[in-house]
Amino acid sequence: MRITRIAAIVIQLTVLPTVASAQLTAPGASSFGLAGSYAARARGYEASYWNPANLALPGAPSWSLGIVGANATVNNNSLSYSQISSLYGEFIDDETKSAILADIRSSDLDRFQVGGVLGASALAASIWRFGFGVSAIGVGDLQVSPDAAELILFGNVGEDGTGKDFLLAGDGDGSVFSNLYVSYAQPFSFAALEGMDFSVGASVNYGIAHALALVFDEGSTFTADPLVLDSELRIIASTGSDAGRMWAFDLGAAMDWSNWTFGLALQNAFANVSWNVDDFELSLVEGRADITGGVLTDTTVAYPDLTPEQQQQVRHKLDSADQPKRLRMAGLYRLGQKWTFSADYAQLLGGTLREQWNWSLSAGAETTLVSWLPLRAGLASDFSQVALAVGLGVFVGPVHVDLSYSSLTLAQGGGSIVSLSISVWP
């Protein structure tokens, strides 16, 4: 009976984690400083991620090398960055705790959610019309009930100070992926459209899921009378470093005319996810504690030990997971030699493994008034949340060092993104 309950939880959870992390991470920090308005800008090794067709546009470098790129994101759905930063090193009184708790309770999810992403790119390069590289990304997400937040803030006496029973429901997930990608672009033109240059391109992405873990709390409780903590967790986790494989194909088209560049890209136009279900195990963790002591039990069941029917159910749910398809439409305008302005529209077209924004509109500007110190700024929004970004580069001969910072102001909550990249250009 216990195995059946574990399998049922796995079936519920396997379509929910943030496995959009199977996607490549943006290899350069410049794009973060422009709030993602980059699909028409990207050249050299960066084009593979944003629009592979850009590899064959006029002005593309004969080669480029991304030595390293890294980015980190943290976010939550309830508290803004200013709220969090104002609490650093400060004593938090009950009035402030109540205000924090009210923000958490007002969340659309009725949960307090906190998440993070770490991305890294190495050995990214472009040569002629080809691009290739290696990247890795890790994602984590945790959601807890408002009661759990109240227990943390006020202790077992609760917000009103009289004591209460707490429902500590929540869930979380984490994953780590690495990716290898290869891109190619082909230019062409039409005699009737003199001055216009066109190109099409494609990327092949191959990813490995090195780790996947899901945690689900069925409704742990903390009661005031008697004082008892009762917990019950369901966990699915990969046991090796090869939890699954992903294939994806990206397609792109671009046009360059005078001071304008336009692009259209479809990421994950064709994609497939295959999980190594035999390398997963399912666990039931139960605990009970009171003033006299506590007991913790852990029952772990490997996938091969489930019944054939349960195995088929788990496999079906895993195999039905689709990577999200994303359409990007982009434009770039060059104002003289010192200013460029860009805009992107991105729309998710489906897939069961969804990302945070279903669509977004972004715009950015870059100036090179000082040739070795480009300055960047951008804004992205879906009209319920806004990302403001700034960035700069320091160019020392062929070596480019780029940095960026983005502040996410959500309808509820907030977050930050920091990014750094080092590259070499001819």
Could you count the other beta carbons within 10 Å of the beta carbon of residue 370? 10
Predicted pLDDT at 31: 95
Ramachandran angles phi, psi of 309, nearest 5°: -65, -45
Predicted pLDDT at 384: 75
CATH number for 332: 2.40.160
Find, among 111, 120, 212, 210, the residue nearest to 168 by Cα.
111
Query: Tell me, what amino acid is at 168?
Result: L
User: Which residues sit opposite 118 in a β-bridge?
Assistant: 72, 138
Q: At what angle do helices 2-13 and 308-319 cross, to 10 degrees?
A: 10
Q: Please, which residues have CB within 8 angstroms of residue 337's CB and are 6 or more apart in sequence? A: 368
**What are all long-range contacts of 384-387, with beta carbons under 8 Å and residues at least 24 apart?**
384/410, 384/411, 385/357, 385/409, 385/410, 385/411, 387/35, 387/36, 387/362, 387/417
Q: At what angle do helices 94-105 and 146-154 cross, to 10 degrees?
A: 170
Decide if 214 contacts 237 (C-beta within 8 A). Answer: yes
Decide if 320 contacts 341 (C-beta within 8 A). Answer: no
Q: How far apart are CA 39 and CA 328, in angstroms?
A: 7
For 96, the domain range is 2-424
Ramachandran angles phi, psi of 321, nearest 5°: -75, 125
Q: What pTM was estimated for this model as a whole? A: 0.84
From residue 124, give the alpha-carbon distance in Å to each of 31, 117, 257.
Answer: 15, 20, 28
Q: Looking at the 3D structure of the chain, how many domains does it have? A: 1
CA 362 to chain centroid, in Å, comes to: 17
Largest CA distance in the chain: 87
> Using one digit for the tens of pLDDT, what is the confidence trace for 88-138?
777 788 888 888 888 778 766 577 888 888 999 988 999 999 999 999 999
Query: Tell me, what amino acid is at 42?
Result: A
User: Which residues sit opposite 127 in a β-bridge?
Assistant: 63, 130
Q: How far apart are CA 369 and CA 239, in angstroms?
A: 53
Q: How far apart are CA 138 and CA 119, in angstroms?
A: 6
From residue 243, give the alpha-carbon distance in Å to each of 31, 212, 252.
Answer: 30, 7, 30
From residue 81, give the alpha-carbon distance in Å to each of 275, 340, 382.
Answer: 37, 30, 19
Find, among 386, 394, 396, the residue nearest to 361 by Cα.
386
Predicted pLDDT at 13: 35
Three-state DSSP at 248 gives: strand
Predicted pLDDT at 226: 86
Residue ranges for the chain with pLDDT beneath 70: 1-24, 80-83, 85, 107-109, 313-314, 317-318, 320-322, 351-357, 409-413
Instruction: Identify the burial level of 116 via C-beta atoms within 10 angstroms of its C-beta, where 0-12 means exposed, 13-18 middle and 19 or more buried.
Output: middle
Decide if 323 contacts 351 (C-beta within 8 A). Answer: yes
Could you count the other beta carbons within 10 Å of the beta carbon of residue 310? 20
Q: Please, which residues have CB within 8 angstroms of residue 323's CB and are 6 or more apart in sequence? A: 19, 20, 22, 23, 246, 248, 268, 271, 273, 351, 353
Query: Tell me, what amino acid is at 166?
Result: F
Angle CA(310)–CA(311)–CA(315) in degrees, nearest 5? 120
Give me the helices (H) in 47-204, please.
Answer: 47-50, 81-85, 94-105, 146-154
340 φψ region: left (φ > 0), alpha (ψ -120 to 50), beta (else): beta
